[in-house]
Amino acid sequence: MTQTASAAKTGASATERFKADRTDGATVTSTDRVDLLAREVLAGVHETVRRNHVTYDEYNALKAWLINVGETGEWPLFLDVWLEHVVEEVNTAHREGSKGTIEGPFYVPGAPEMGPRGSVPMRDDEAGSPLAWSGQVTSVDGAPLGGAVVEIWHADSDGFYSQFAPGIPEWNLRGTFEADDDGRFEVTTVMPAPYQIPTDGPCGALISAAGWHAWRPAHIHVKVSHPGSQLLTAQLYFPNDEHNEDDIASAVKPELMFAPQDAVDGVGTVVEYDFVLDPT
């Protein structure tokens, strides 16, 4: 029987990936800093309870929901959708170069290396029209950053990411490009589609209970790195997507928009988008 993606399976994959790839940030955080942050978070929750006269039924519903989030492994999804955009905002406010945005829960390091030009791995029958993207990586002083690494990944036309849903080839729609001596790179992929975050788990239950929607606009994820430069993590979007203005993850910024053009041969879309990296 063919497996289907579910919130629980996706959440478990995201949790295991995070545990495998990330160190415990608390080990480099001072006791005073933990005390400050924990007290302020709890104070904010306490104030919400007092101001809104939260009932015991509501409190118990919250407790059950929090337990469910943990049991299904949806903490990476919850935190990346509703909290990460603020963390990213305060951590990159000093930058003069390209704007970034959230990473999300579906990044995987080590995607196949494609050189400065190539097509990301995809299935022979991959849905979506062709998309050709060319760009250049430079420093804030305009110098080309030859050898810069541009990692890209995006969901398929059903909104699923390889390695986080069954039945998708391991590196589908994931690739690593190394810019040439002039900092230039060219990527061939397919147009991504808008999608809903998983809604059959506790995050979906919250969305339904609050009367929200679960949609993310179509986007391509990127990480851009170069020795001596600050890592840039971003998502690039397409104009006229109906969810650019109400992205459930609050991750869209006007600086992150592609400017699509029809391909010369009439097949697919071409875009240009460059990156400017801040020094370390």
pLDDT of amino acid 237:
98
Q: Which residues of the chain have a pLDDT value below 50?
A: 1-3
Percent of the chain at pLDDT exceeding 90: 89
Q: Which tens digit of pLDDT belongs to each residue from 71-99?
A: 999 999 999 999 999 999 999 999 999 99
pLDDT of amino acid 1:
31
pLDDT of amino acid 7:
64
Q: What is the pTM for the complete model shown?
A: 0.90
Label residues 180-191 b or e (16+ Cβ within 10 Å = b).
beebbbbbbbbb
Q: Furthest-apart CA pair in the chain: how many Å?
A: 64
Matching CATH number, 1-280, of 3.30.300.20, 1.10.10.10, 2.60.130.10, 3.40.190.10? 2.60.130.10
Domain locations in the chain?
1-280
* Locus of tokens 């969305």: 207
pLDDT of amino acid 240:
92
- Tell me which DSSP letter residue 229 carries: B
Distances (CA, A) of 18 to 85, 196, 230: 18, 21, 22
Q: Which tens digit of pLDDT belongs to each residue from 13-50?
A: 777 767 677 655 556 789 999 999 999 999 999 999 99
As a whole number of angstroms, the distance between CA 138 and CA 8 comes to 41
pLDDT of amino acid 2:
38
